[in-house]
């Protein structure tokens, strides 16, 4: 039987505020435990939370970025459950009236295949603290869990998709699109390794063509692009196997274990998951007006979708290239700087997506950490365009810039003597030299039939380029060789 997966994602995005959502404590990452947990975060008696205006603004920006309805009146509620890293006994979150309503995101999981993924809603909430299950013991030697409440109260935007996603690949494309939007908007650093973006996936399968959804399982704990795809694919396979063997999928929460590449059920507290939501009496409804929304709208930066379109329309890039180059804000900024510097969008695109991306990939670096700056690359591309160097020499200059052997492309071109030789006399002298020292090859060439010669001339081109240390103009070398070989 052919199966179809149905996936919905809940993405928690940590907002890039200075202070917490309801208190004035810092949210800086990596501080000493409990040094950023104030009375409000600890849930001490007599506290009163006050909502952070930046968190509201960031949520609205996101809403506008995904063409969503903005909740002009949103309400915070208490979600009640007990866990030691939630000292109040409830999480302050939004339920019935979230700040961002239904929206839509367009993704392109493969070239030319556009999919619309609907967003059910997005709401503001506070994060919980962290439990450290290490080897702490009390005075009687009993095992204890350590609690760090620095993260408690950190503002989160939880973005809930409709079950519109049909494969792990689409899920990745969707998450990347969200990542791209929140980083373009500057509302989150999007750093997955530090937990700034966390993802839970609701996964079910159904026979292809069936309308009704299957029973879903929720997969938690998938926090990198690499693992999301694996975790979802694994869960899809598990469910299909289970059903084909005559079993049934249980509605449950499963944890993904990246070391074993498997999901397993969390200790079952499903029946206890009755959160008894009610409006938080400490917080009043949040009301926004049109003027506020319009003000934020007027300050919205160009988003990936618009940027991509502009790259296609104004720069003449292909849809695919435009998509790659606009996918992340650092990538787009880098590319635009290179382009502005060399004034040729297509050549800039080739270099950024080719030589640069390849080298970054090889060394596992992000474009933000590229050893070659956009200015340096832009100047290098400009030297290719004005024929100062040929393509081969350009690669050498790039490698030298990468290795830090010079500050600018021009310095390296001078130091290494890579300036392209376009002087016919000079090139002809090298060609003569090469022909003279390879009489056997010349003989073979001249004895060969016409249609084989094209390939054989490559040997001589290589020798000439080598002898000129890569500086000869390749077109001229070809031309001269053909003339001289007859």
Give me the sign of the Cα torsion angle 198, 11, 176, 60: negative
- Report the C-alpha gap between 200 and 197 in whole angstroms: 10
d(CA 444, CA 75): 85
Binding-site member from 67, 84, 237, 432 for another protein (CB under 8 A)? 84
Spatial distance between the Cα atoms of 432 and 423, rounded to a whole number of angstroms: 15
**Does residue 34 come out as left (phi exceeding 0), alpha (psi in the -120 to 50 range) or beta?**
left
Quote the tokens at residue 372: 């070659």
Handedness of CA 76, 79, 80, 81 (dihedral sign): negative
Nearest distance from C-beta of residue 184 to another protein, angstroms: 20
Contact, 472 vs 430, CB < 8 A?
Answer: yes
C-alpha span between 37 and 151 (Å, rounded): 8
Q: 232 with 32: CB under 8 angstroms?
A: no
Q: Residue 75 CB, nearest distance to another protein (Å)?
A: 4
Q: Which is nearer to another protein, 287 or 313 (CB)?
A: 287
Q: Is 33 in the site for another protein (CB under 8 A)?
A: yes
| Contact range with another protein by CB under 8 A, out of 15-23, 102-110, 310-318, 477-485 | 15-23
Site string for another protein, 58-77 (x = CB under 8 A): -----------------x--
In this complex, which beta carbon is closest to another protein, that of residue 36 or of residue 183? 36
Q: Looking at beta carbons only, is 145 or 306 nearer to another protein? A: 145
- Contact partners, residue 295, CB within 8 Å, separation at least 6: none
**Stretch of 80-88, 172-180, 336-344, 381-389 contacting another protein, by CB under 8 A:** 80-88
Instruction: Select 35 or 444, whichever has its Cβ closest to another protein.
Output: 35
Binding flags for another protein, 107-146, as an x/- string (CB under 8 A): ------------------------xxx--x-x---xxxxx
Query: Looking at beta carbons only, is 281 or 486 nearer to another protein?
Result: 281
Site for another protein in 221-280 (CB under 8 A): 266-267, 272, 274, 276, 279
C-alpha separations of 214 from 269, 310, 332 in Å = 21, 41, 40
288 to 327, contacts with another protein by CB under 8 A? none
Compare residues 82 and 361 and give the one whose CB is closer to another protein.
Answer: 82
| Edge-to-edge order in the sheet of strand 278-279 | 90-94, 76-80, 278-279
For residue 42, state whether it binds another protein (rule: CB under 8 A): yes
Q: Which helix (H) or strand (E) holds 426?
A: helix 424-436
Candidate list 36, 154, 390, 473; residue touching another protein; CB under 8 A:
36
Does 195 engage in binding with another protein (CB under 8 A)?
no
Measuring CA to CA, which residue among 130, 147, 183, 151 is closest to residue 26? 151
What is the total count of residues that contact another protein (CB under 8 A)?
A: 56
Is residue 8 within 8 Å of residue 160, measured between CB atoms?
yes
Q: Which of 104, 114, 284, 429 binds another protein (CB under 8 A)?
A: 284
Q: Which residues bind another protein (CB under 8 A)?
A: 17-19, 23-26, 32-39, 42, 44, 50-56, 75, 80, 82-84, 96-97, 131-133, 136, 138, 142-149, 266-267, 272, 274, 276, 279, 281, 283-287
């Amino acid at each position: 039987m052919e199966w179809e997966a149905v996936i919905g994602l809940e993405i928690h995005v940590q907002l890039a505020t200075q202070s917490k959502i309801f208190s004035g404590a810092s949210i800086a990452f990596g501080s000493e435990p409990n040094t950023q947990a104030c009375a409000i975060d600890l849930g001490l008696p007599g506290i009163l939370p006050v909502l952070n205006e930046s968190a509201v603004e960031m949520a609205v920006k996101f809403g506008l970025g995904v063409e969503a309805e903005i909740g002009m009146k949103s309400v915070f509620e208490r979600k009640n459950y007990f866990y030691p890293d939630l000292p109040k006994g409830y999480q302050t979150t939004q339920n019935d009236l979230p700040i961002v309503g239904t929206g839509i995101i367009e993704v392109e999981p493969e070239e030319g295949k556009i999919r619309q993924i609907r967003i059910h809603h997005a709401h503001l909430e506070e994060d919980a603290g962290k439990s450290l299950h290490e080897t702490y013991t009390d005075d009687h030697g009993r095992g204890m869990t350590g609690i760090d409440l620095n993260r408690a109260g950190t503002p989160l935007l939880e973005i809930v998709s409709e079950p519109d996603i049909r494969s792990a690949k689409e899920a990745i494309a969707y998450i990347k699109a969200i990542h791209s939007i929140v980083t373009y908007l500057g509302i989150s650093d999007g750093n997955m390794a530090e937990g700034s973006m966390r993802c839970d996936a609701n996964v079910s399968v159904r026979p292809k063509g069936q309308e009704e959804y299957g029973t879903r399982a929720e997969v938690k704990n998938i926090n990198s692009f690499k693992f999301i795809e694996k975790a979802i694919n694994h869960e899809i396979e598990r469910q299909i196997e289970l059903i084909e063997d005559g079993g049934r999928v249980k509605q449950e929460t499963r944890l993904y274990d990246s070391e074993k590449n498997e999901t397993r059920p969390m200790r079952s507290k499903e029946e206890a998951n009755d959160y008894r939501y009610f409006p938080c009496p400490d917080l009043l409804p949040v009301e926004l007006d049109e003027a506020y929304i319009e003000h934020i709208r007027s300050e919205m930066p160009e988003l990936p979708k618009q940027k991509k379109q502009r790259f296609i329309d104004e720069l003449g890039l292909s849809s695919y290239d435009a998509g790659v180059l606009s996918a992340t804000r650092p990538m787009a900024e880098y590319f635009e700087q290179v382009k502005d510097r060399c004034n040729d969008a297509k050549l800039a695109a080739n270099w950024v997506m080719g030589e640069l991306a390849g080298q970054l990939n090889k060394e596992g670096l992000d474009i933000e950490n590229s050893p070659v700056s956009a200015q340096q690359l832009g100047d290098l591309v400009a030297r290719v365009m004005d024929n100062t160097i040929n393509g081969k020499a350009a690669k050498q200059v790039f490698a030298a810039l990468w290795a830090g052997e010079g500050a600018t492309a021009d310095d390296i071109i001078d130091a290494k003597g890579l300036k392209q030789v376009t002087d016919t006399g000079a090139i002809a002298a090298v060609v003569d030299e090469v022909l003279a020292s390879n009489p056997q090859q010349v003989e073979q060439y001249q004895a060969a039939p016409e249609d084989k010669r094209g390939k054989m001339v490559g040997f001589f081109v290589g020798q000439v380029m080598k002898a000129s240390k890569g500086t000869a103009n390749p077109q001229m070398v070809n031309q001269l060789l053909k003339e001289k070989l007859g």
